[in-house]
Amino acid sequence: MKKSLLTLILIFCASLINAQNIDNQLLNEMNRRAYDDEIDVVVVMKDRYDRTLLNQKADAFATRAERRDFVAKELKTFAEKSQKNLVDYLENTAKINNVSSLHFANTLYFSATKAVIMEIANRENVEIIGFNKKQNVIPECKDAKFCVSTTDASREITPNVLQVNADQVWAQGYTGAGVIVAVVDSGVNYEHADVADHLWDGGDEFPHHGYDIVNNDDDPMDDKGHGTHVAGIVCGDGTSGSQTGVAPDATLMCVKTTAADGFGGAVNIAGGMEWAVEHGCDLINLSQGMAGAGITDKEIFRRTCESILDAGIVALVCAGNEGYSILQMAYPIPNNVRVPGSCPPPYLDPDQMVNPGGLSCVVSVGAVDYNDAAAEFTSRGPVTWQDTEFGDYAYEPGIGLIRPDVCAPGVNIKSLDYQNTSGYTFYDGTSQATPCVAGIVALMLQKNPNLMPADICRILEETSLKLTPNKSNITGVGRVDALAAINAVEPNAVEENETRRFEIYPNPSHDVLFVLSENINSEYRITNMMGQTIISGKIASENQLIDVSLMPEGLYFITIGNMTNKFLKK
């Protein structure tokens, strides 16, 4: 009897140890399921790419686009290596054939029994296991108003576009041309006349201008309506009568992450954001989020948004529509803002510096009406990350993380109707405020394509119409102003440095640097990150070859005369 009791105690203790790596939402799901039931789970790996090293490498690239592509590939390679042993176990031992990966968050998701879940919990390289929960991720507003389609040819500019002075930016020649905006949502009716002529060209692989994460196919057609309405606020060009888009010539990339009922989850949304970056977007609009998200979901989003920041991409994300008093009871502060709208910004406002923390790609957006009064529904901050692996932005004690960053018009907003190719409809929500800000960012990136997320966030904040003396947990620093923002952006200019004198081309084997130089007979030297000289010599010709085959992988600097440039040897 004593031996049996001891055995039960040991089993119980072992279960407690395992449970430390299992999210409470998953534990609850396991308790209500039969032993052999398969449960949809997500596994967040403990390994993370050293972000300092990643950014040192990424800083070697001259353009934001090159940085984006490099970071995406680096994180994919790192995740595949980190996940290999677990994937081998899942596929070969546990015989699970539906294993999928998120590279930016170093996360796996699949269906598994309780026995497999407990075995995974014993692995040292697992940070946490959670329930792949599906919920309505589209912030609905009960006061949304619908109207019939119209083909009015008066070319009206909608009031929200005028409120943020976007039309005055168009007069300067900035309309978002050449900037790829990924709308990660319920899909887009890409046949609507107001967006049909400026869609992302996905070639033969993605003929419908994006991807459907939900159904794993190349057709992101909207079957909900939300995504089409959002896309119209970003870049509807008024072909059918109403100029609804802040950046009417921006290029629209369509990414579908929710089903027709509006349901989705962290892996769908994070996967859609990752797909957009991997396929070349310049910014992300995310008018979605999870209310009452569990720890695992929060960590997936935070990791994903940090990786997107490292890639040099900004995401405009809605705060949510849980600001109504009755909904604040269901989602009390510090959990009133939806995730990932609760993730940190790429730039910390001075008001936040009394309680600083980590950064991510998210510019969180609240909603105001046409009188610049806070919308009743807009979600309220602050938020905290003290209960996650990140452990920052403590709240009570501490002010938490102020959310949102800025606000924009989000009440009674006219935009595209997904049910036809020429109509319009009206919605309310932070979902409508967010693409207004995304459109402004597209205008900014047309003026300077190499603006980094921190600069974008800072400029948006510094040029917004102040609605409160300090940054507010309802409206952020204030309502965005497109004209003030574009006037604060320095135009993209060729730097007055060595890039006009020579260029560096690593060959496929990375053994030689090919230098084009006007500085014949000039001295050159190659130094490492520590400032130590690795190679030095003299430029003998305009086509100088420098052998770097004996140099280890890393970031280096080449100096010719008094001019220095970075290059990456890999």
pLDDT score of 20: 76
CATH number for the domain harbouring residue 28: 3.30.70.80
Q: Is the pLDDT of residue 553 over 90?
A: no
Q: How far apart are CA 42 and CA 17, in angstroms?
A: 19
Q: What's the chain's average pLDDT?
A: 89
Q: Is the pLDDT of residue 455 over 60?
A: yes
Three-state secondary structure of 87-139 = HHHHHHHCCCCCCEEECCCCEEEEEECHHHHHHHHCCCCEEEEEECCCEECCC
Higher local confidence (pLDDT), 496 or 128: 128
150 in a structural domain: no
My answer on whether 99 and 163 are in the same domain is: no
My answer on whether 384 and 462 are in the same domain is: yes
My answer on whether 70 and 108 are in the same domain is: yes
Q: Is the pLDDT of residue 434 over 50?
A: yes
My answer on whether 219 and 317 are in the same domain is: yes
DSSP class per residue in 392-449: BS-BSSSB-B---SEEEE-SSEEEE-TTSSS-EEEE-SHHHHHHHHHHHHHHHHHH-T
140 in a structural domain: no
Using pLDDT thresholds of 50, 70 and 90, give the confidence band for residue 67.
Answer: very high
272 in a structural domain: yes
145 in a structural domain: no
My answer on whether 221 and 305 are in the same domain is: yes
410 in a structural domain: yes
Summarize pLDDT for 395-433 with one digit per residue, the tens: 999 999 999 999 999 999 999 999 999 999 999 999 999
Q: How far apart are CA 433 and CA 261, in angstroms?
A: 22
Please give the tally of structural domains in the chain. 3
Task: Give the end of a domain, one of 442, 466, 488.
Answer: 488
Angle formed at CA 135 by CA 44 and CA 323, multiple of 5 degrees: 105
In the chain, pLDDT over 90 holds for what percent of residues?
Answer: 77
- Interval 31-56 mean pLDDT: 94
My answer on whether 245 and 273 are in the same domain is: yes
Residue 64: which domain range? 2-132
Give the burial string for 438-461 (b: 16+ CB within 10 Å, else e): bbbbbbbbbbbeebbbbbbbbbbb
Q: Is the pLDDT of residue 471 over 50?
A: yes
The number of C-alpha atoms within 13 Å of 414 and in the hemisphere containing its C-beta is 21
In the chain, pLDDT over 70 holds for what percent of residues?
Answer: 87
426 in a structural domain: yes
My answer on whether 236 and 260 are in the same domain is: yes
Beta-strand pair 504-506/39-45? unpaired
pLDDT score of 421: 96
pLDDT score of 11: 43
My answer on whether 525 and 449 are in the same domain is: no
Task: Give the end of a domain, one of 468, 488, 508.
Answer: 488
- Interval 282-311 mean pLDDT: 97
Among 46-50, 371-375, 555-559, name the one with the lowest average pLDDT: 555-559
Q: Is the pLDDT of residue 228 over 60?
A: yes
Summarize pLDDT for 328-339 with one digit per residue, the tens: 999 999 999 999
Do 196 and 296 touch, CB atoms closer than 8 A?
no
Do 223 and 214 touch, CB atoms closer than 8 A?
no
My answer on whether 414 and 450 are in the same domain is: yes
CATH number for the domain harbouring residue 432: 3.40.50.200
Q: Which H or E run includes 556?
A: strand 554-560
Q: Is the pLDDT of residue 6 over 70?
A: no
Closest CA to 69 of 256, 212, 282, 218: 282
pLDDT score of 148: 45
My answer on whether 294 and 416 are in the same domain is: yes
Q: Is the pLDDT of residue 4 over 70?
A: no
367 in a structural domain: yes
pLDDT score of 164: 98
- What phi, psi does 182 have (nearest 5°)? -90, 120
Task: Give the end of a domain, one of 433, 454, 488.
Answer: 488
pLDDT score of 61: 87
- What phi, psi does 232 have (nearest 5°)? -65, -30
Q: Is the pLDDT of residue 516 over 60?
A: no
Q: How far apart are CA 479 and CA 466, in angstroms?
A: 7
151 in a structural domain: no
The residue written with tokens 């809605």 in the block is: 318
> What pTM did the predictor assign?
0.86
DSSP class per residue in 339-366: BTTTSPPSS--GGGTTS-----SEEEEE
Q: How far apart are CA 204 and CA 372, in angstroms?
A: 45
pLDDT score of 537: 85
pLDDT score of 498: 35
- Interval 180-192 mean pLDDT: 98
My answer on whether 223 and 260 are in the same domain is: yes
Residue 291, both tokens: 């209310």
Give, in order, the Cα–Cα distances in Å from 385 to each of 335, 339, 343, 389.
10, 11, 8, 8
Q: How far apart are CA 206 and CA 239, in angstroms?
A: 25
My answer on whether 245 and 375 are in the same domain is: yes
